[in-house]
Amino acid sequence: MRGRRCTTWRCLLPLMQRLVLAPMPIPMRRLKLLILMLTSLVLPGLSLAGGTSSEATTRDTDFAAVVPGKALTFPRDHGAHPDFRTEWWYVTGWLETPEGKPMGFQVTFFRSATGHDRRNPSRFAPRQLIIAHAALSDPADGRLRHDQKIARAGFGLAGASEADTNLKLGRWTMRRDRGGDYAIDIPARDFRLQLSLSATQPLMLQGQAGYSRKGPRPEQASHYYSQPQLRVSGKVTRAGQSTAMQGSAWLDHEWSSTVLDPSAVGWDWAGINLDDGAALMAFRIRDAKGTTLWSHAALRDKHGRQRIFGGEQVRFAAQRQWRSPRTGASYPVAVSIDVPGLRWTLEPLQEDQELDSRLSTGAVYWEGAVRVLRDGQPAGRGYLELTGYLKALKL
């Protein structure tokens, strides 16, 4: 091919025919080329030269912009926003067995607009991709159990409703009912999560009434709300054995078209359900040197009073590093988070909670259940997310 771009059926079909009709067995080199050709047709933006197809190249201006002052409306904004480039529904939480044994879990559904021409009437046009991750953190395993899926939206096999939270990717589902409860069913590769999540507090709009800045430019932002202090019940199944579970969870829903500054490589984020009924969300965006480019925190007490912190008021400090034996990435798995007058220390449920999603989103990141201490005493439970430590995160 020698750098020639080729992403249409007319161009690829003769090449595919020659490969398929080649004498058996097909050499591995030819088989890999055939797979790449098929992939370039299924996922727009790929080319045999390793570049981006001009047909699928899009600009940020081709997607809807996040702007301040736009009021979020519900239940509509629980649903999908396909005019924006990227969106995720992200649930993390702690579970306990009847004997009090703790486990952490994570379920994330992503929707990604491909930039494919929306005027194309074909049902096969890959306008939206649906991606999902699921993970179970059990110290008895010693490492994270996780699974991932990806498919184009459509044909009743994968999709995200615009009316309310109703997500499907094969047999993986997450739905919100009219009463506000969520039902999650994730039959993953070596575990199954069947969980019900019930709200105990109002929604927590992040940033300025749901407009959440992520960088120095106003367009580097997302629409973002959280549902902290969710009550969880259900069961976890492994090796054919089901265990009843109770616990608490945190849900984030976020959508945007331009999030990270060009110099950013990733972020540190925490969502914490505090034992006194309060909720803490904090994040920082980092550059390649580890310098904080942007930071923000929101603390809401059990009475609904919310305090916002930004800039130098929010400090993340590593307390302990863990190096992955698989990827070599080093993560600050124990951290302290400081805002004026307050400090929390986060300790992982287990150190190895690295999730390799290179078969779906392309990222490798650390996503872990953490215990929260204040003045050395237990203060809450939550999740810590660490991205961009292996390589720069690309959304």
Q: What is the band of 27 on the pLDDT scale with cuts at 50, 70, 90? A: low
Query: Cα–Cα distance between 150 and 144 in angstroms, integer?
Result: 20
Instruction: Inform me whether the pLDDT recorded for 226 exceeds 90.
Output: yes
Residues 321 and 255 in one domain: yes
Query: Quick one: CA torsion of 364, 366, 369, 370, rounded to 10 degrees?
Result: -170
In the numeric block, the tokens 């899009």 are attached to 58
Residues 52 and 101 in one domain: no
In a domain, 394, yes or no: no
In the numeric block, the tokens 């616990």 are attached to 247
Burial 217-241 (b: 16+ CB within 10 A, else e): eebbbbbbbbbbbbebebebeeeee
Q: Give the model's pLDDT for residue 125.
A: 73
Residues 138 and 203 in one domain: yes
Burial 36-48 (b: 16+ CB within 10 A, else e): ebeebbeebbbbb
- What is the per-residue pLDDT across 141-163, written as a single tens digit (0 to 9) for each? 989 999 999 999 998 999 999 99
Query: Cα–Cα distance between 232 and 114 in angstroms, integer?
Result: 34
Among the three residues 57, 76, 98, which one is the final residue of a domain in this structure?
Answer: 57
Boundaries of domain holding 28: 1-57
Residues 228 and 366 in one domain: yes
Distance of CA 331 to the CA centre of its chain: 18
Percentage of residues in the chain with pLDDT exceeding 70? 83
Burial 102-135 (b: 16+ CB within 10 A, else e): bbbbbbbbbbbbbbbeeeeeeeebbbbbbbbbbb
CA atoms within 13 A on the CB side of 111: 27
Query: Cα–Cα distance between 293 and 11 in angstroms, integer?
Result: 45
H or E stretch at 34: helix 28-42
What's the mean pLDDT in 190-205? 97
Residue of 201, 198, 199, 197 whose CA lies nearest to 304: 201
What's the mean pLDDT in 228-257? 97
Whichever domain contains 129, its CATH number is 2.40.370.10
Q: Give the model's pLDDT for residue 43.
A: 44
Residues 72 and 207 in one domain: yes
In a domain, 395, yes or no: no
In a domain, 391, yes or no: no
- What is the per-residue pLDDT across 69-96, written as a single tens digit (0 to 9) for each? 999 999 999 999 999 999 999 999 999 9
Q: Give the model's pLDDT for residue 10.
A: 45
Q: What is the band of 316 on the pLDDT scale with cuts at 50, 70, 90? A: very high
Contact 103, 138 (CB under 8 A): yes
Q: What is the band of 118 on the pLDDT scale with cuts at 50, 70, 90? A: low
E strand spans, 114-220: 128-137, 145-152, 158-160, 166-169, 172-176, 182-187, 192-198, 204-205, 211-213
What's the mean pLDDT in 60-70? 86
Residues 42 and 67 in one domain: no
Name the domain count of the chain.
2
Among the three residues 27, 57, 87, which one is the final residue of a domain in this structure?
Answer: 57
Q: What is the band of 65 on the pLDDT scale with cuts at 50, 70, 90? A: very high
Q: What is the band of 61 on the pLDDT scale with cuts at 50, 70, 90? A: low
Q: What integer best gives the mean pLDDT of the chain?
A: 87
Within 10 Å of residue 157's Cβ, how many Cβ atoms?
13
In a domain, 160, yes or no: yes
Q: Give the model's pLDDT for residue 239.
A: 93
Q: What is the band of 362 on the pLDDT scale with cuts at 50, 70, 90? A: confident
